[in-house]
Amino acid sequence: MQRPLWEPVSSENLAIDDLKRYAKVNDFQSLHNWSIEHKETFWRYVFEDSGVVGTLGDKGIVDHGFLDSKFFPDAKLNIVDTLLKGEAEQMVITEISESGVKRQYTRGQVREIANRVAFGLQQIGLKEGDVVSAIVSNVAETVFFALGALKIGAIFSSTSADFGTSTILDRFEQIRPKVLLVTTNYQYNGKEIGCLEKIAEIVSQLPSLEKVIAIGAASSPYLSFSEWIAGCNPNEEISTQGGFDRPGFILFSSGTTGKPKCIVHSAAGVLLKALSEQRYHLDIKPEDKVFYFTTCGWMMWNWLFIGLGTGAGIVLFDGNPMHPNPQRLFDLAQENELTFLGVSAKYIDSIRKLDLRPKETHTLSKLRTIASTGSPLSPEGFNFIYENVSANVHLASISGGTDICGCFMLGSPDLPVYSGQIQVPALGLDVQVFTDEGAVAEVGVKGELVCRNIFPSVPLYFWDDSGNAKFQSAYFERFADVWTHGDFVEKTPEGGYIVQGRSDATLNASGVRIGTAEIYRITEEFAEVTESLAIAQKWDGDTRVVLFVKMAEGKLLSEELIAQIKSALRQKASPRHVPALILQAPEFPRTKSNKLVEIAVANAINKVENTNLGSLANPETLDWFKDLNL
């Protein structure tokens, strides 16, 4: 057993403790078992304990497996009533631009603006079930627009303002929005970037549009958001009630084969799942200040948005988190007295390599929780947070996905944190690790991350997916009626999880499956290496592992360093982890949410076409790999 990096000092006033008392259990494992065995009771408790506005009705969960189940078929609610309940005077949205301009809104102001948006959408002719979309930066107007759409029962979908034209059209041409909110300009890395030319091209190719509304200082041919809502004067509060399975969000997959899948989520399902995570796993309380660094093209924006339902205020930031200096996010944490700071594992690794020491330069006394997601957080990343940021925070590595708009595994504020491990499975989800044969894997044995039971944020369906064929293929082809997520993981003796990477990026060396994260953790310990990417290349009727490294500025990959990396992999992992080749690469492809895309590089090396380059933030990086002759 490892020694913990952090242990809770006390568990006073934790929502999870009240849940344990209700379930009549004393420890997390028993609570988790109870939440699975009594799933209807558990989800009703989350609904009532979180103060969700509405009714669930008498009918419970109709469980016919993942594809044909219904949660609370008699429920009536509108999630905005929950997101905006509470004292009118509380400051619930703080928006900070890259240049430092701050805008703040009370709950009362947000209620009024959201109601004006709802009225304005109705005046355009929108009704329940219509789609509205947004090409936007992470600003308050995006939140107002989403709230207004959900108020009338419309479906909201967003992309980031930095997405390219084809990337956006690949998404929005499928879902055919009727109203579009756009950003005319945004700031990044100290520069002002205009979007009007791109927006004009997109609008010209979306014949479904009835209205385009613009955010931004630049003059544009579109009605500005402020002018639009100024003319919207509703006489009453608008709140269209709907069932539990009413669609509320469309999110998009970011694979490299074919157009992105349009994943339709229940608004109520996402709300209930997020509340269970935020309140019981991450200790978010009313009056807290919650920040997650995200764009509007990543599901973490939806997760942050839903955080309003806890009663907490949310803090929005748009721009480069390292501008004008690498400690920018810690400046925000100090100035805004954040209680919850959410970042990516890549961000933590970046500041670790820069040797930042926020505990010496910043006052973070209000900060209780740091969350990390996007990719596996290395043991070195865990150690860095406790040694150089704060010894007193709950570091919660969390893992889930767009597919469920939530987490399969995350933290628990009443349990110790161990280096390199995600603490616990999500309450209400029967999370397991399966072997290739479909048996539950032993502790320490790597396998497929699966979930064996239904939960509220299972997607309703994929858009335009006849007979649920794509939905079935995406998650249930390998194990019948068991959600197979596509992560390669192992369970630890401490009861936690280590994510070894995506299953489609898993390497096969001498018949043994190896997660790419196992290699990256060791390779990136070398100061000369800033990032690494491993793929399997077809070779002589078998496969061989090829490792690419991105070097620190001014450094070159030498034969000596190659030997040192191979030696470290052999000693710290196994001989099977040693790649056949180690090569220096200029840059790696990544998604818009900054995740490495190993499969795209593997396809390029193996001369397989990548058919969805629009999912990549930098598809041009693949040209270097295509030109290699290995």
How confident is the model at residue 218, as a pLDDT? 62
How confident is the model at residue 7, as a pLDDT? 94
99 and 197 share one domain: yes
* Structural domain includes residue 500: no
450 band by pLDDT with thresholds 50, 70 and 90: very high
* Chain-centroid distance, C-alpha 29: 25
User: Do the beta carbons of residue 157 and residue 251 sit within 8 Å?
Assistant: yes
Last residue of a domain, one of 445, 465, 491: 491
116 and 158 share one domain: yes
Q: What is the pLDDT of residues 178-215, one digit of tens each?
A: 999 999 999 999 999 999 999 999 999 999 999 999 99
Average pLDDT, the chain: 93
608 band by pLDDT with thresholds 50, 70 and 90: confident
* Structural domain includes residue 87: yes
537 and 486 share one domain: no
9 band by pLDDT with thresholds 50, 70 and 90: confident
257 band by pLDDT with thresholds 50, 70 and 90: low
86 and 219 share one domain: yes
Please give the structure tokens belonging to residue 162. Answer: 């930095």
374 and 437 share one domain: yes
Q: Which residue has the tokens 């809770």?
A: 8
468 lies in which domain range?
Answer: 15-491
* Structural domain includes residue 496: no
* DSSP tally for the chain: helices H, then strands E: 20, 31
Question: Cis before residue 324, ω within 30 degrees of 0?
Answer: yes
* Structural domain includes residue 579: yes
Does residue 275 have a pLDDT over 80? Answer: yes
Rounded Cα distance, 257 and 230, in Å: 44
| CATH at residue 231 | 3.40.50.12780
- Structure pTM? 0.89
* Structural domain includes residue 8: no
DSSP 508-544: EETTEEE-HHHHHHHHTTSTTEEEEEEEEEEETTEEE
Q: Choose the weakest-confidence range: 120-129, 250-259, 526-535, 613-622.
A: 250-259
481 and 598 share one domain: no
Last residue of a domain, one of 491, 519, 536: 491
Rounded Cα distance, 516 and 519, in Å: 5
* Structural domain includes residue 482: yes
564 and 618 share one domain: yes
Instruction: Report how far apart the first and last C-alpha atoms of the chain are (Å, whole number).
Output: 43
Last residue of a domain, one of 426, 458, 491: 491
Does residue 271 have a pLDDT over 60? Answer: yes
485 and 511 share one domain: no
511 and 414 share one domain: no
Task: Report how many domains make up the chain.
Answer: 2
Please classify residue 271 by burial: count the beta carbons closer than 10 Å to its beta carbon, then call 0-12 exposed, 13-18 middle and 19+ buried.
buried
265 and 399 share one domain: yes
* Structural domain includes residue 497: no
* Structural domain includes residue 4: no
How confident is the model at residue 510, as a pLDDT? 58
95 and 126 share one domain: yes
Q: What is the pLDDT of residues 511-567, one digit of tens each?
A: 667 878 888 989 988 999 999 999 988 887 768 899 999 999 899 999 999 999 999
326 and 216 share one domain: yes
At 529, which amino acid appears?
A: V
34 band by pLDDT with thresholds 50, 70 and 90: very high
Nearest to 397 by CA among 2, 1, 6, 3: 6
Q: What is the pLDDT of residues 319-349, one digit of tens each?
A: 999 999 999 999 999 999 999 999 999 899 8
